[in-house]
Amino acid sequence: MGCNVLFLMILVLIQLKVCEPQNQPEQYSRSSDDSVNKDNAALTWIPKSKSIFDVQSGKSSGGLKRRKRDLVIPPINFPENDRGPFPKQMVRIRSSNAKEIAVTYSVTGPGADQPPVGLFTIDRNSGWLYVTQPLDREAQDKYKLQAHAVGAGGQVVEDPMDIIINVIDMNDNKPVFTQNPFLGSIDEAAKPGTEFMKVEATDADQPGTDNSDLRYSIVSQEPKMPHDNMFAINPVTGGIRLSLSGLDREKYPKYTLEIQVADMKGDGAAVLGKAVITVTDSNDNAPQFEQTSYTVSVPENEVGYVVVKMPVTDGDEPNTPAFWTKYKIISGDTNGAFNITTGPNKMEGIITTAKPLDFEKNSKYTLLVIVENDVPFASPLATSTATVTVDVTDVNEAPVFKPVKLSITKPEDLPVGADLALYTATDPDTAMKQKVSYKTGHDPAGWLSVSKDTGLIKVKSPMDRESLFAKDGKYTATILASDDADVPATGTGTLEITLEDVNDNAPTIVERSFSICNKDPAPILLSVTDKDGPGFAAPFHVELQGDSRNNWTARMNDTKTGIILTLKTRLAADSYNVVLKVSDNQHESQASSVTVKVCDCQGNDVQCSEGRAAGVGLPVILGILGAVLGLLLLVLLLLMFMRRRSTVKKEPLLPEDDVRDNIYYYDEEGGGEDDQDYDLSVLHRGLDNRPDVFRNDVAPTFMAAPQYRPRPANPDDIGNFIDDNLKAADNDPTAPPYDSLLVFDYEGGGSEAGSLSSLNSSSSGGDQDYDNLNEWGPRFKKLADMYGGGED
């Protein structure tokens, strides 16, 4: 039991010793009894053949039994950013078998033979572990290696041993703000102590140590108005709060704070950042009327009339609820005659009339209006008011009928000229002392007349309850009343007359024609109607008149509303008129004639054979069709005859000795001086005296005749003269059907110049081949015919 206690104490001492921070490499010696051998300054493997005491029950007389167990090496702590020199010793590893055989050492793992390769090395012979460069805890805070020991022949003399190296943090990183600048806002009406934003920074050093323990502070404030310490910051959390009152967005809309953050609880490395604070608007400015009193005139009887527009101003931020306005009439409008709304720009109040104003009742209103914002004031403020004086102007109002609709009941048979009603109107313009006159307005049947001066309505023409103008026994008309102003105003009243029915209509038979068989005919039911009301209609009574009694019987049906007509004598097939006298319950009657077509048939199956085809007979139809076909044939022959005449080419109506040749002028510049003396009038005479030619080989074309230029006085213009008249001749529908140049080379009758046709008798061209003229185009066709045709 004492050995176990000693073993536990040794382990505690080893752990305490290893955990102590050391500036120099610490060396541990692990012997067979787990004691720390500082003289050897090395970690020693326990040989496999040795054991450690452990507590275990068993057959041992001493109560103790030896068994083998592994040891865990405490982590090795090494500071980051060590300045060397490198490689620098960290710890020495040694096997207890090294006294007996030659042992070589090696390490494996990340930092040794794995990336980052070569960060840790070990002396093969001595077992010293080295670090080759400074460590960076922020890159990797722990390394786990394995130490190996082998003999000279390569045999493994020890099991691999784990070595854990912890990198001790150093304050080698400055704090970093998560953003810069920080943006925040605060309402200008906020109270001191209100925290409205937060700044934040991070530090890459080891958390939970002074190296990463940050503190915040405000270095400066811009602007420093109204106080230079308007804001405060929580040094630990970075929360910014309002320190003093006095924010005013209209004066200082924005603040910029310079914030410092430092590690080591504020005593270490420090960096600066900015916080931009925007002061948001609160409703701390009451809107103000630009004008506090208005006097306006409004005509009476106008609903929706714009009385006045009242613009306002507001010092708060535009286009915000603290800037927008609403209005209220707080006095002067007891009967709700006015309405006030906010204008489209939300910065003006618009008063309109909600009811017709009456000059005769109230000619002036004094309204008191207040203006407020859409949101409540941030603090109590005095509201702005405006006074609006409304003067109601008198206008000529139309007379008013009382009642607007007058209903009366009169019998429909009132005589013409009888009084119906006195329907008058009053003029509301009592101060104008105007006279009212009357006339009928809409009187669809023209039954009424009204006295111009008194408004007494009389019967103008007989009224009829059964007329189309009376709906359900009621006749409606309008009466107009006008004053005598310069521009008269007219009022309208409605007169509704309920017409009392009188027996002024005899009953009539609805069916006026029908067919019946002459053999065993079935009775015919005829319907009877009466335009009068129920008191002057059914039950009806019927009587046959004249010869109708000989062949027919007539009686009323059970309801006394229909006539049962029966043929009692067999009649030849033909049409017959049956006269029936029908009377109502007040003995108002009239005779009605019914056309009955008696057919040669039996019973109810009425089949009447036509004696001849209805309408126009077949021969007549055939005759009409033949006449139409003959007319069409005649028109076709006429068209063919006219077309044949138009296709036959006739010789122009010209004299037999009239010869026209086409002469062309090809860039001849003229002869000598003797050749310049010529008289162009000789050529022009033929143009002026050309015969009128009628083109009988083509259909006439109705178009404007071309204008020919007169011969120019200047010989230099002869070229333009010929060109212009050539174009005119080309478009002349009355020109001869040869060539348009004929109008220029035609010599006319009695010409003083020699005939150009003498070219035909010239012997100078006998040896010439004129057949090529056919290839020169239509303008040379005449010459080709004259000279290229051989002897012909």
- The overall average pLDDT reported for the chain is 77
Length of the chain: 792
For 452-461, 585-594, 668-677, which range has the lowest pLDDT when averaged over its residues?
668-677
Q: Do 367 and 331 share a domain, yes or no? A: yes
Q: Residues 475, 445: contact at Cβ < 8 Å?
A: yes
- Rounded CA-CA distance 787/789 in Å is 6
**Lookup result for tokens 């948001």:** 280
Residues 115-126: what's their mean pLDDT?
90
Of residues 670 and 735, the one with the higher pLDDT is 735
Nearest to 327 by CA among 312, 337, 314: 312
Residue 72 is predicted with a pLDDT of 53
| CB half-sphere exposure, 44, CA atoms < 13 A | 21
Position 343 confidence tier, pLDDT thresholds 50, 70, 90:
very high
Written as one letter, the residue type at 459 is V
Burial bucket for residue 505 (CB in 10 Å: 0-12, 13-18, 19+) = buried
Tell me the pairing of strands 490-500 and 405-411. Answer: parallel
Backbone angles phi, psi at 137, to 5 degrees: -65, -30
In a shared domain, residues 406 and 369: no
| Cα gap 474→498, rounded to integer Å | 4
DSSP assignment of 713-774 = SSGGGHHHHHHHHHHHHHT-TTS-SS-TTHHHH---TT-SSPPGGGGGG-STTTT--GGGGG
pLDDT of residue 694: 44
Last residue of a domain, one of 500, 517, 549: 500
Q: Are strands 513-519 and 589-602 parallel, antiparallel or unpaired?
A: parallel
Do residues 283 and 331 make contact, with C-beta atoms less than 8 angstroms apart? no
Tokens of 20: 């102590």
The answer to whether position 567 is within a domain reads yes
The pLDDT assigned to 13 comes to 35
DSSP 107-148: EESBTTTBSSTTSEEE-TTT-EEEE-S---TTT-SEEEEEEE
Measured distance CA(10)–CA(36) in Å, rounded:
8
Supply φ then ψ for residue 297, to 5 degrees: -115, 135
Query: Three-state DSSP class for 68?
Result: coil
pLDDT at position 695: 46
Tell me how far apart the 2 most distant CA atoms of the chain are, in Å: 182
How far, in Å, CA of 49 to CA of 100, rounded?
14
Could you read off the pLDDT of 569-591 as tens digits, one per residue?
888 888 888 888 888 777 778 88
Encoded amino acid at 580, one letter: L
Are residue 97 and residue 116 in the same domain, yes or no? Answer: yes
pLDDT at 766: 54
pLDDT value of position 65: 38
**Best-predicted range by mean pLDDT among 64-73, 303-312, 637-646, 681-690?**
303-312
Residue 750 confidence (pLDDT) = 54
Q: How far is CA 771 from the centre of its chain?
A: 80
pLDDT at 80: 86
Check whether residue 476 and residue 525 sit in a common domain. no
Q: How far apart are the first and last CA of the chain?
A: 167
Grade residue 752 by pLDDT with cuts at 50, 70 and 90.
low
- 264 by DSSP, 3-state: which? helix
Assign residue 687 a region (left: φ > 0; alpha: ψ between -120 and 50; beta: otherwise). Answer: alpha
In this prediction, residue 486 carries a pLDDT of 82
Quickly count: other Cβ atoms within 10 Å of residue 163's Cβ. Answer: 23
> Phi then psi for 287, rounded to 5 degrees?
-65, 150
CA distance 649 to 654: 15
Q: How confident is the model at residue 41 (pLDDT cuts 50, 70, 90)?
A: very low
Residue 153's pLDDT is what? Answer: 79
* CB neighbours of residue 431 within 10 Å: 9
| Alpha carbon distance 632, 558 (integer Å) | 67
Q: Where are the alpha helices (DSSP H) in 524-617?
A: 548-551
pLDDT reported for residue 648: 53
Res 355: pLDDT: 92
- Specify whether the CB–CB gap between 441 and 455 falls below 8 A: no
Q: Is residue 561 part of a domain?
A: yes
Looking at residue 233, what is its pLDDT? 94
Residue 517 pLDDT grade (very low, low, confident, very high; cuts 50, 70, 90): confident
Domain assignment of residue 791, yes or no: no
Q: What is the pLDDT of residue 679?
A: 55
Q: Which residue has the higher pLDDT, 15 or 411?
A: 411
Which of 141, 168, 195 represents a domain boundary (last residue)? 168
**What whole-number percentage of the chain has pLDDT above 70?**
76
250: CATH: 2.60.40.60
204: nearest Cα among 136, 258, 153: 136
One domain for residues 103 and 191: no
What is the pLDDT confidence band of residue 46, given thresholds at 50, 70 and 90? Answer: very low
Tokens of 522: 């079935």
Lowest-pLDDT choice from 222-231, 255-264, 592-601? 592-601
> For the purposes of burial, counting CB atoms within 10 Å of the CB of 655, is it exposed (0-12), middle (13-18) or buried (19 or more)?
exposed
pLDDT at residue 313 greater than cutoff 90:
yes
- Residue 674: how many other CB atoms lie within 10 Å: 6
Give the range among 536-545, 679-688, 764-773 with minimum mean pLDDT.
679-688
Whether residue 219 sits in one domain with residue 234: yes
425 and 515 in a single domain? The answer is no
Cβ distance 490 to 482 under 8 Å?
Answer: yes
Shared domain check, 524 and 493: no
Q: 487 near 459, Cβ under 8 Å?
A: no
State the pLDDT confidence band at 749, using cuts at 50, 70 and 90.
low
- Contact, 477 vs 489, CB < 8 A? no
Peptide bond into 226 cis (omega under 30): yes
How far is 463 from 409, CA to CA, in rounded Å?
A: 13
Alpha-carbon distances, residue 754 vs 322, 727, 745, 758 (angstroms): 112, 27, 12, 8
d(CA 353, CA 367): 12
Residue 540 lies in a domain: yes
What per-residue confidence (pLDDT) applies to 737?
Answer: 56
656 versus 212: the higher-pLDDT residue is: 212
Q: CA Rg, the chain, in Å?
A: 67
Structurally, the chain folds into a number of domains equal to 5
Q: Is residue 492 pLDDT above 60, yes or no?
A: yes
For the stretch 127-152, pLDDT in tens is 899 999 998 888 888 999 999 989 88
The residues pairing with 187 across neighbouring beta strands, listed in sequence order, are 280
Per-residue pLDDT at 221 exceeds 50: yes
Position 502 pLDDT exceeds 80 = no
CA distance 517 to 36: 150
Q: What b/e sequence results for 92-126 when a residue is b if at least 16 CB atoms lie within 10 Å of its CB, and e otherwise?
A: bbbbbbbeeeebbbbbebbbbeeeeeebbbbeeee
pLDDT for 521: 83
Higher pLDDT, 4 or 136: 136
More confident residue, 696 or 11: 696
Q: What local confidence, expressed as pLDDT, does residue 788 receive?
A: 63
More confident site: 768 or 521: 521
Asked whether residue 54 carries a pLDDT value surpassing 50, the answer given is no
| Residues whose CB falls within 8 Å of the CB of residue 765, separated by 6 or more in sequence, listed in order | 759, 787
250-272 as b/e: b if 16+ CB within 10 A? eebeebebebbbbbbebebbbee
316 and 273 assigned to the same domain: no
**Residue 356 and residue 439 in one domain:** no
Residue 738 CA to residue 757 CA, distance in Å, equals 16
CB 90 within 8 A of CB 76: yes
Cα–Cα dist 540/548, whole Å = 19
Determine which of 30-39, 50-59, 210-219, 311-320 has the lowest per-residue pLDDT on average: 50-59
pLDDT greater than 70 at residue 518: yes
Q: Which of 54-63, 476-485, 758-767 has the highest mean pLDDT?
A: 476-485
- How far apart CA 674 and CA 676 sit, in angstroms, is 6
Q: Are 304 and 347 in contact (CB under 8 A)?
A: no
pLDDT at residue 182 is higher than 90? yes
Residues 166, 172: Cα–Cα separation, whole Å: 17
pLDDT > 60? residue 26: no
**Tell me, what's the pLDDT at 259?**
95
Average pLDDT over residues 303-317: 92
The residue assigned the tokens 């003995």 is 587
Q: Are residues 376 and 472 in the same domain?
A: no
Can you read off the two tokens belonging to residue 23?
A: 């500036």
Residues 384-409 have pLDDT tens digits of 999 999 999 888 888 989 899 999 99
C-alpha span between 34 and 9 (Å, rounded)? 10
Which residue in 325, 327, 322 sits closest to 339, CA to CA? 327
Considering only 94-98, 347-351, 363-367, 385-389, which range has the smallest mean pLDDT?
94-98
Whether residues 182 and 164 share a domain: the answer is no
Q: Which long-range contacts (CB under 8 A, 24 or more apart) does 60-69 make?
A: 63/1, 64/3
Whether pLDDT at 666 is above 60: no
CB 90 within 8 A of CB 129: yes
Q: Are 518 and 599 spatial neighbours (Cβ–Cβ below 8 Å)?
A: yes
pLDDT of the residue at 714: 77
* Distance set, CA 525 to CA 74, 427, 632, 756 (Å): 131, 62, 55, 108
Residues 381 and 286: beta-carbon distance below 8 Å: yes
Is residue 241, in this structure, part of any structural domain at all? yes
Is 96 in contact with 47 (CB distance < 8 Å)? yes
3-class secondary structure, 363 = coil
Distance between CA atoms of 158 and 70, rounded to whole angstroms?
Answer: 12
pLDDT computed for residue 344 by the predictor: 93
Assigned domain for 5 exists = no
Of all residues in the chain, what percent carry a pLDDT higher than 90? 28
Q: Is the separation of the CB atoms in 337 and 355 below 8 Å?
A: yes
Q: Which of 168, 197, 213 finishes a domain? A: 168
Domain span at residue 586 reads: 508-602
What was the pLDDT predicted at 14? 37
pLDDT of residue 31: 34
Give which of 458, 335, 441, 367 is closest to 398, Cα–Cα: 441
Q: Under a CB-based contact definition with an 8 Å cutoff, are residues 452 and 438 in contact? A: yes
* 665 found inside a domain: no
Q: Is residue 207 part of a domain?
A: yes
pLDDT at 16: 36
Least Cα distance to 408 among 445, 448, 375, 374 occurs for 448
- What was the pLDDT predicted at 684? 47
